[in-house]
Structure 1
Amino acid sequence: MIGRLSGILLEKNPPQLLIDCNGVGYEVSVPMSTFYNLPALGEKVVLLTHLAVREDAHLLYGFGSAEERNVYKQLIKITGVGARMALAILSGMSVSDLAQAITLQEAGRLTRVPGIGKKTAERLLLELKGKLGADLGAGLLVSDSASDILNALLALGYSDKEALQASKQIPAGSGVSEGIKLALKALSKG
């Protein structure tokens, strides 16, 4: 298995790259988040990779960070999410945004990514809950009660933006019913 490439960047045609590694040119597909952080043509590049072996092809995917590669591997394990869709997800939102969407169970943020419908978004939320949010959400300490408060505000008809803004003003450790009351007070003032 090819786990890492280090070489000279020869071509950039989103999402494809051509990297020369000691005379061998590797074609690598990368998410746009990695693509935007690439050096200029002719310069050295190092990518972590994932090799996908299919019946009709061997495809190499590259990532700028271990975190990105780990999320990609989690995504392709989900039924209905292939390599291209996983790249689209990582191109459409950062790893931390994805972790936050999973932690807060926000299907609406996922459906904004081209190719992700409501059913796929719900499947992602269900299958990644506890995995992605727990691994990557360390900086995002969001409790189950905060998620419940946010979902209650969304159910009451508030937009994602309004609900998130109000839920950020709730003191940590507030119970669900107390948190909803505080959030509604904050929303009525705004």
Structure 2
Amino acid sequence: MLPATDAATNRSPARVRLRPTMQSDLEFVLSIERDPANLPFITPWERTQHEAAIRFPDFRHFIVEGGADLASVGFLILIGCKSPNQSLELKRMVVQSKGTGFGRAALRVAKKVAFDDLGAHRFWLDVKHHNARARALYDSEGFVVEGTLRECVRGADGFDSLVVMAMLQAEFAGRRAQGLELPA
């Protein structure tokens, strides 16, 4: 269970759960991935890439379900689930409705999965430099900036830089001890 209020927003966190993505979910995944509101912030995958991520043991592809009815509100993908280095990547997280708290709640569940269930030592991600909203979320959720990959992905208006952020297991444990993470 999440803390009674969210320190970043001073309100109750959204209710979410993650469930494994099925083939029947892929139209939903592709539709929100290709939504013009999301395209500037991600590099969309082809359907076959999502199909492979559902099947490949090193990946975890999840549908984010949220709200009172636990409707599909987004998706997220973890990579490196079988890594001998215990370094997992949050490859992608896309939430349909921004500002609802679903992204923050899904990120907290993803951290719990990464550290508690998959035994990660390091949980990392990269985010486009111009995605201020996502960078602020990751920062407020304890991710530390490790560096910038300058102009490394081609975007619609030229090349985009990626900011690499990560959290270590000890940092996660410290946040949990402060009541900032989901309990074990």
Structure whose residues are more often strand by fraction: 2
The normalised TM-score by structure 2 is 0.30
Structure whose residues are more often helix by fraction: 1
The normalised TM-score by structure 1 is 0.29
Larger Rg: 1
Q: Which has the higher contact order (CA 8 A, sep 6+)?
A: 2
